[in-house]
Amino acid sequence: MLREIDTFFLEKNEPVKGCLLFLREFILAYDKNITEAWKYKMPFYCYKGKMFCYLWVDKKTKQPYIGIVEGRKIEHPLLIIEKRSRMKIMKLDAGEDVPVKTIDTILKMALDIYKSPAPGTYRDTLN
């Protein structure tokens, strides 16, 4: 029996399925501390247990996107906030090549938020 998270990917039609499966593998291989979880009926990726990003398909356009949980803290021209207060998304066109370099840049910016110490912490005062 398939897990719900696996069904999410496998029930999609091409080229969306291929795009999402590539993104799944890319995100999981990006850092050894990133794990996959099924939350809110969607695939989430956590960094050391904290929600980091997720994958979804836009209901109107039927195109995939990557949601960045702490997106409001990142400035990148391809990240949009729309009506969200915390998260930003990067829309993708499943019929085009995945913009790997851009996604790499955005994931690095997002990971830096999780890796940097919170203001006022001991590590922060050492710098």
41-57 pLDDT, tens digit per residue, is: 999 999 999 999 999 99
pTM: 0.88
The DSSP code for 80 is: B
- pLDDT tens string 111-127: 999 987 665 544 444 44
Rg of the chain, C-alpha, whole Å = 15
What pLDDT is recorded for position 89? 96
- Cα of first residue to Cα of last residue in the chain, in angstroms, is 51
Nearest to 113 by CA among 40, 48, 37, 56: 48
Which tokens sit at 5?
């998270």
Q: Is the peptide bond before 99 cis (omega within 30 degrees of 0)?
A: no
Which domains, ranges and CATH numbers included, belong to the chain?
Answer: 4-116 (3.90.1150.200)
